[in-house]
Amino acid sequence: MDAKTKVFKMYTEFKRYGRLPDEDKITTENEFNLVALMREIVRPVSKDIEEKSIEEKSSAATPRIRPHNVETPRTLASSLRTPSEEAVIRRIGARKLKAYELNAICLNGWQLYTDMLMAQRSRPRIDAFIKNIDQQVSMDWVHAWASTVTPNTAEVLNKFQTLRGSSTHEHIVSNSVTDFVCVLHRAAFDPPQKITTFSWTHDSKHAVHLQKLGKQLKIIFDENTVIGGIRAMAVVCSIGLPLHELFKPVDFMEKMKSYRFKKLSMNALVKVALRDLVTIDKINNFVEANQLLKAYEQKEEFFAKHDYVVKDVSQAALDMFVFKNWYSYPTKTEIECIFKRTSVNIGEWCTAE
């Protein structure tokens, strides 16, 4: 198990079950800081559980003897979760990975769970990317023509002028990045005449016409299918992927164009992302991508170091600590696995059981 996989395992088991890592498994400073933060989060929760247990015992007519400082992982985890994390757990927990989808080098269940949580951090990148490729539509247009809206609450229905319950133009509102990816994925299979628009909130100034976006992604990434274009967008926007400091979406698209890459292949990804990051003494055009990966691998420890300081003790602080330390830069292996990882992530998020 490599260092990142070990961290993903620690983080997943803590988030899902409230389980703290064994002391003897902590080997790096970042891991030590991660576990220290976990312990600080658990401390007040454990204290509350203990005090509640003591109160219950003292008020019971016939108390049963039970260690008051022991709590099952499930109960402790329930105390730690937020509603959004509950939804994540239900979604990924409801599916069982097919054996052939996983291999020891690229993929594991802990990573898939962590990727799903970290996908939400990509909202600003998605907005910048969609604006850059000119795929925003006005919410005034949506309000004027949408035939149905999901979710529909009394406060927002008066904004829509032509609601009639049909599915000709469906407007979907969700602040979830994985919902956005899945609705976009679904729209690729909708009838040609259907229109689906999406916005993060009811108060958003712009929406996205998903059918038009899908067609545009197919064109700009020179893919044979819309699904291929969605996968490429997920990589460029680092949706659930550890590429956030490696490049920014708009810069990446500009470089891809200037380097005259039409398709987002592994060769294109490596050259666009790494040419300005590492130095090669003597470039061989035929194996430049391999040279860049090798040079990057030699500097992995440098890119893995971050000075992010935790400002408080909370679940949000824990999530941000993991994000800053393990989703800023990838390892060489993660780069080599990025397309497989993206495809499996989207399949996990969007494919019904």
Write out pLDDT tens, residues 10-44. Answer: 999 999 888 988 877 788 888 888 989 999 998 76
Give the model's confidence band at 59: pLDDT under 50 very low, under 70 low, under 90 confident, else very high: very low
Q: Are residues 151 and 249 in the same domain?
A: yes
Q: Is residue 317 part of a domain?
A: no
pLDDT above 80 (res 350): yes
Statement: residue 3 has pLDDT above 90: no
- Structure-block tokens of residue 285: 């055009």
Distances (CA, A) of 17 to 12, 42, 242: 8, 12, 24
Pair 116, 231 in one domain: no
Q: What is the pTM of this model?
A: 0.83
89 and 197 share a domain?
no
Q: By mean pLDDT, which of 85-99, 181-195, 316-330 is the weakest?
A: 85-99
Apex CA 238: angle with CA 200 and CA 19, to 5°?
Answer: 90
Whether residue 312 lies inside any domain: the answer is no
Q: Where is the domain boundary, 69, 97, 120?
A: 120
Using the predicted structure, report yes or no on whether residue 326 has a pLDDT greater than 90: yes
pLDDT confidence bin for 287, thresholds 50/70/90: very high
Query: Is the residue at 233 inside a domain?
Result: yes
pLDDT exceeding 70 applies to what percent of the chain? 82
Asked if the model's pLDDT at residue 313 lies above 80, the reply is yes
Question: Alpha helix locations (H) across 188-331?
Answer: 210-220, 226-236, 249-258, 266-274, 288-297, 300-303, 315-326
- Whether the pLDDT of residue 80 is over 50: the answer is no
**pLDDT score of 83 more than 70:** no
Give the mean pLDDT of 329-345: 95
For residue 201, pLDDT beyond 50? yes
Of 56-60, 132-136, 187-191, 240-244, the least confident: 56-60
Q: Flag whether 206 is in a domain.
A: yes
Name the residue range of residue 160's domain: 121-298+330-350
Q: Based on the domain organization, do 144 and 79 belong to the same domain? A: no
- C-alpha angle 200-265-116 in degrees, rounded to nearest 5: 35
Q: What percent of the chain has pLDDT over 90?
A: 59
Does residue 16 share a domain with residue 68? yes
Residue 185: what pLDDT? 95
How far apart (Å, rounded) are the C-alpha atoms in residues 238 and 328?
10
Q: Rounded to whole angstroms, how far apart are CA atoms 109 and 16?
A: 12
Identify the band that residue 156 occupies on the pLDDT scale cut at 50, 70 and 90. confident
With tokens 């398709």, the residue in question is: 263
Q: Does residue 349 carry a pLDDT above 90? A: yes
Indicate whether 258 belongs to any domain: yes
Q: Note whether residue 309 is domain-resident.
A: no
Q: 216-266, pLDDT tens digit by residue?
A: 999 999 999 999 999 999 999 999 999 999 999 999 999 999 999 999 999
Residues 334-344: what's their mean pLDDT?
Answer: 95
Q: Which of 63-77, 109-123, 202-216, 243-257 has the lowest mean pLDDT?
A: 63-77
> At 344, is the pLDDT very low, low, confident or very high (cuts 50, 70, 90)?
very high
Residue 223: φ, ψ to 5°: -100, 155
DSSP of 231-260, one letter per residue?
Answer: HHHHHHTTTTSS-TTT--HHHHHHHHHHTT
Coil, strand or helix at 289 = helix
Q: Do residues 97 and 214 share a domain? A: no
CB 199: neighbour CB atoms within 10 A? 22
Same domain, 133 and 51: no
Task: Give the residue-averaged pLDDT of 75-94.
Answer: 46
Work out the pLDDT band at 79, boundaries 50, 70, 90: very low
Mean pLDDT of the chain: 84
Residue-wise over 319-342: b if at least 16 C-beta within 10 A, else e?
bebbbbbbbbbbbbbbbbbbbebb
Residues 30, 78 within the same domain: yes
Same domain, 110 and 129: no
Residues 107 and 139 in one domain: no
Residue 264 lies in a domain: yes
From 120, 137, 171, give the residue that closes a domain: 120
Q: Lowest-confidence range among 81-85, 88-92, 329-333?
A: 81-85
285 & 152 share domain: yes
Q: Are residues 106 and 125 in the same domain?
A: no
How many domains does the chain divide into? 2
Q: Which amino acid is at 237?
A: C
Band (162; pLDDT cuts 50, 70, 90): confident
Domain end (from 92, 120, 148): 120
Q: Sorting pLDDT into bands at 50, 70 and 90, what band is 93?
A: low
Asked, for residue 27, whether it belongs to a domain, the answer is: yes
Q: What's the DSSP call for residue 25?
A: G
Let me know: does 271 contact 292? Beta carbons within 8 Å.
yes
